[in-house]
Chain A
Amino acid sequence: MAVVQHRVGKLFTLFFVLLLLAGARALYLGGPHAGALRRAARTQQLTNEVVPAQRGTITDRNGVALAISEPAQELTADPYLIKRPLAVAQRLAPLLGLTRAQVLTKLSEHTGFVYLAHSLPYDAAHKVLALKLPGVQGAPVMRRVYPRGTLAAQVLGIVGTEHEGAGRMGLEYSLNSALAGHAGQRRVVSDAIGQPISIAETHHEQAGSSVELTLDANIQQRAEDVLSAVGRVFQPKDSTAIVMNPRTGAILAMANWPLVNANDPGAKAIEALQNRAVSFNYEPGSTFKSVVVSGALQEGRITPESGFEIPDQIELGGRTIHDDTEHPGESLTTSQILAQSSNVGAIKIGLLEGRDKFNTWVHRFGFGAPTGVGLPGEESGATLPLNRYSGSSMGNLPIGQGELVTPIQMATAYSAIANGGILRSPHIVSQIGGRPVPEPAGRRIISTTTAAELRSMLKGVLAPGGTASEVSIPGYQLAGKTGTASKIDPKTGEYSKSAYVASFVGFAPASDPKLLCAVIIDEPQTGSIYGGVVAAPAFGQIMEFALPYLGISPG
């Protein structure tokens, strides 16, 4: 019995000693070695995954998706962990859409981190990750897709690959705070085979707000098609067209040419990505004559029937300005001056108005300041300060020379004429996150009578004898103004004889306008350079589609 007890005592002692050793080891691991073990565990078992926020969708006024985000993967590799780069490159190349040499170059770099692909579509990334190649990892990201490709690409802008895909240009940039949302973070503890055994959301991701634009994809498409056709015929440097509702200032189309595929913006020069509708400063030429006439009408200096003796040319401040075509001295009414776009006539009206009043009216129509359309990169144009007017200033300013405007400024100014005299900031965003964006309030700049008189006069531009008489839409009465402005030659500093801006701004139905369109063609190279020949037909084609499409009756 004593022997048994002795052995039990020995066993007990042995177990006690083992327990002490285990305790000591536990103390060691939990104490001095704890930091290293914690770090190792974090690396092997614990991962803090970034949960990318779904970027808000951009749709047109009918809910057609123009920009949408889809889950993708950012693939990276640690070249040090890749044993056979050539074999790996051979397997990865077709899945990444790269050549074997390109992948091999990346995998051969002497670094521990290389990007294999940014925003790789999920399916392709899944195939890559399914290969379970050591050293190849994927991180979830969101990929921006523009389903319509070139449609309104310059308006929508682009999204960068860095900084969680922040907007870089266009609406993607200006509305980034609303569209982006907030990325979340997830703490995942995995077991030995990588199976997650604990998932905790440390930060909830917040999806970005969807944005509804006032654009109409079909009108936008038509405007781009028309500009492309103009590009083929006249080969201009670039062109832009704006279609808007003059009553509300809602922009229905904002087209730019050359077209850019928003899914592949790098394929074109950076200049092609510019939204020229808001960033192109140009001398408006004859389209500015409406501003001079509006002011003079409103001031009561003239009426539509006021007669003027129009010589072939006029001298002012030592400078001679002549009409576009040679003609003997003639008598024209204000309406005829606008319809025939007489330079001499516009200058005479400007002189009648006086430089102070003229300058006031230029600013009252919104020139010299951004319209507030809410698109990034909007230029404000340039107007001559009153104190810098020279003796010849009133010889060129009333005919649209010596000041710079943007296409959106011109469209906005003509909207005021079309809607009865209220200047209203144009807008392109209809809703953000389902909440309507309030329409900007307008301010009256001319009376309804003046606006109606001007609309009536502008009908003459498209009537027989007008500068855009070739343009007509059966059933509709159109009104508008052509513009042909020579550009300053940067080499000589003088007006060029080969570089022009052809433009047309018009609306319909003339008596009760519901749709306005501005077309600006920069430097047409072949064929004509006149606004009535180059830009006005484009206006007609766009309006011919848009008017019945929108259900606008001829009135």
Chain B
Amino acid sequence: MTPPAATAASRSLARTAPGSRRTVVRHPRRISGPTRPTGSARVATAVAVAAPGVALPRQHPARPASKPRRAPARNGSRGSAHESPGIALRTVGVFEAVSASALLDRLIRGRIWIGLLAFSLIGIVAMQLVVLKLNTGIGGTLTREATLQRENAQLGIEDSMYSAEIRVAPLAAAAGMTLAPAGTVHFVQAAPADVARAASALSAPIQASAGSQAGATESTATTESSASESSASESSASESSAANDSTGTAAAAGTNQASSASGSSSTEASSAAAGSGTSSAESETSSASGATAAAATTTATGGSTEPSSSGAGG
């Protein structure tokens, strides 16, 4: 049922009239400027203007006339037709309740809202500053990232250059290391029993220096024998070769220059091994293999000198 507009207006007028039943006594409202007279409250405003300083009871604005409800659709679903106006009405009701709530009223009338507003404004400004600082921090982080990336790349480059043979080989040569000739390098044929022997050797690291000396002597002997074998094969090769002309000799000379050790390296290898720190490593190897090693040689590769082996029989 839609009430007639005149009825609603008259009800509104009756509600706003002074001395009506629903009027409640409220605290005097602080007026800080000209208020906009609305509807039937104009008379009261006029009185207020005529007598400034006089506290007047609060005038509620006239409730707007409710719109005429649309007739429910004949074929429409009944549920939706009933719920839609219900929600709207409830929303309006909530809005009115909030507007008329004493808490809001007290907040607006009092001085708390000034503090609240100031706090909010200061908070916004502070947040902006934090964001700005954060962005500046991001900029700094990006710069630092680029710096680290550059340093990392630089370290990678240096690492690669430090391990280059062109740098390591002279340093190794200065330290008395030579490249072991291929023929002097022997490899151990590991047997299952060697595991136990190696384990026992680990428990007693360096047994005696006598073993290493024996190993070194044997090493030299083996090296020399292999070197003599190689020189024998070289001589036979040169005899049988038809193409052993002067250029061939030149090529062989170039070959010998390029390789760091050849026929004369037997004594060099053994003396270098004895003179440098590799001798202790050899003695370890010898003792680990039960001092039956026939040879222990060094392999200088990329600047590292490592005990590679002991005798084949070992």
Q: Which residues of A contact B (CB under 8 A)?
A: 54, 57, 64-66, 68-71, 122, 140, 145, 147-148, 151, 186, 188, 195-199, 217-218, 221-222, 225-226, 229-230, 232-234, 325, 464-465, 467, 469-470, 472-476, 526-528, 530, 532-534, 537-538, 540-541, 544-545, 547-549, 551, 553-554
Instruction: List B residues 223-248 near A (Cβ within 8 Å).
Output: 226-227, 229-230, 233-234, 236-238, 240-245, 247-248
Query: Complex formed: what's the CA distance from A548 to B165 in Å?
Result: 16
Instruction: Please state if A530 and B243 are interface contacts (CB–CB under 8 Å).
Output: yes
Known contacts A233-B251, A464-B236, A549-B299: does B157 contact A473 (CB below 8 Å)?
no
What residues of B have a CB within 8 angstroms of the CB of A68 in the complex? 153, 156-157, 160
When C-beta atoms are compared, the residue in chain B nearest to A474 turns out to be B183
Q: How far is the CB of B12 from chain A (nearest CB, A)?
A: 33
Instruction: Please state if B154 and A70 are interface contacts (CB–CB under 8 Å).
Output: yes
Query: Complex formed: what's the CA distance from A547 to B285 in Å?
Result: 22
Stretch at the interface among B75-83, B134-142, B206-214: B134-142
B132: contacting residue among A197, A467, A474, A476, CB under 8 A: A197
Instruction: Please state if B258 and A226 are interface contacts (CB–CB under 8 Å).
Output: yes
Query: Complex formed: what's the CA distance from A526 to B254 in Å?
Result: 14
When C-beta atoms are compared, the residue in chain A nearest to B301 turns out to be A549
Query: Complex formed: what's the CA distance from A284 to B236 in Å?
Result: 29
What residues of B have a CB within 8 angstroms of the CB of A538 in the complex? 255
Query: Complex formed: what's the CA distance from A123 to B288 in Å?
Result: 53
Instruction: Please state if A470 and B237 are interface contacts (CB–CB under 8 Å).
Output: yes
Q: How far is the CB of A500 from chain B (nearest CB, A)?
A: 13
Stretch at the interface among B64-72, B114-122, B174-182: B174-182
What residues of B have a CB within 8 angstroms of the CB of A544 in the complex? 181-182, 259
Query: Complex formed: what's the CA distance from A229 to B256 in Å?
Result: 10
> DSSP class of B's interface residues: helix, strand, loop or mixed?
helix
Instruction: Please state if B135 and A197 are interface contacts (CB–CB under 8 Å).
Output: yes
Instruction: List B residues 144-185 near A (Cβ within 8 Å).
Output: 146, 149-150, 153-154, 156-161, 163-166, 179-185
Q: How far is the CB of B151 from chain A (nearest CB, A)?
A: 9
Question: B108 near A: Cβ within 8 Å?
Answer: no
Q: Which residues of B contact A (CB under 8 A)?
A: 132, 135-136, 138-139, 142, 146, 149-150, 153-154, 156-161, 163-166, 179-187, 226-227, 229-230, 233-234, 236-238, 240-245, 247-248, 250-252, 254-255, 257-259, 299, 301-302, 308
Q: How far is the CB of B261 from chain A (nearest CB, A)?
A: 9
Query: Complex formed: what's the CA distance from A227 to B223 in Å?
Result: 29
Instruction: Please state if B243 and A532 are interface contacts (CB–CB under 8 Å).
Output: yes
Instruction: Please state if B157 and A65 are interface contacts (CB–CB under 8 Å).
Output: yes
When C-beta atoms are compared, the residue in chain A nearest to B159 turns out to be A65
Known contacts A122-B150, A229-B257, A474-B230: does B247 contact A65 (CB below 8 Å)?
no
When C-beta atoms are compared, the residue in chain A nearest to B189 turns out to be A553
Instruction: Please state if A470 and B248 are interface contacts (CB–CB under 8 Å).
Output: yes
Query: Complex formed: what's the CA distance from A467 to B136 in Å?
Result: 74
Q: How far is the CB of B227 from chain A (nearest CB, A)?
A: 7
When C-beta atoms are compared, the residue in chain B nearest to A122 turns out to be B150
B251: contacting residue among A147, A148, A196, A533, CB under 8 A: A533
Query: Complex formed: what's the CA distance from A533 to B242 in Å?
Result: 11
Instruction: Please state if B258 and A474 are interface contacts (CB–CB under 8 Å).
Output: no
Query: Complex formed: what's the CA distance from A148 to B168 in Å?
Result: 13
Q: How far is the CB of B249 from chain A (nearest CB, A)?
A: 10
What residues of A have a CB within 8 angstroms of the CB of B227 in the complex? 474
What residues of B have a CB within 8 angstroms of the CB of A464 in the complex? 236-237, 240
What residues of A have a CB within 8 angstroms of the CB of B183 in the complex? 473-476
What residues of A have a CB within 8 angstroms of the CB of B135 in the complex? 196-199
Instruction: Please state if A71 and B163 are interface contacts (CB–CB under 8 Å).
Output: no
Instruction: Please state if A197 and B136 are interface contacts (CB–CB under 8 Å).
Output: yes
Q: List 27 A-B contacts (CB under 8 A).
A: A64-B160, A64-B163, A68-B157, A69-B153, A70-B149, A70-B150, A70-B153, A70-B157, A71-B149, A122-B150, A147-B164, A186-B142, A196-B135, A225-B258, A233-B251, A469-B240, A470-B243, A472-B234, A472-B237, A474-B181, A474-B229, A475-B183, A475-B184, A534-B251, A544-B181, A545-B259, A548-B299
Known contacts A71-B150, A140-B146, A475-B226: does B240 contact A465 (CB below 8 Å)?
yes
Query: Complex formed: what's the CA distance from A534 to B251 in Å?
Result: 7
What residues of B have a CB within 8 angstroms of the CB of A467 in the complex? 243
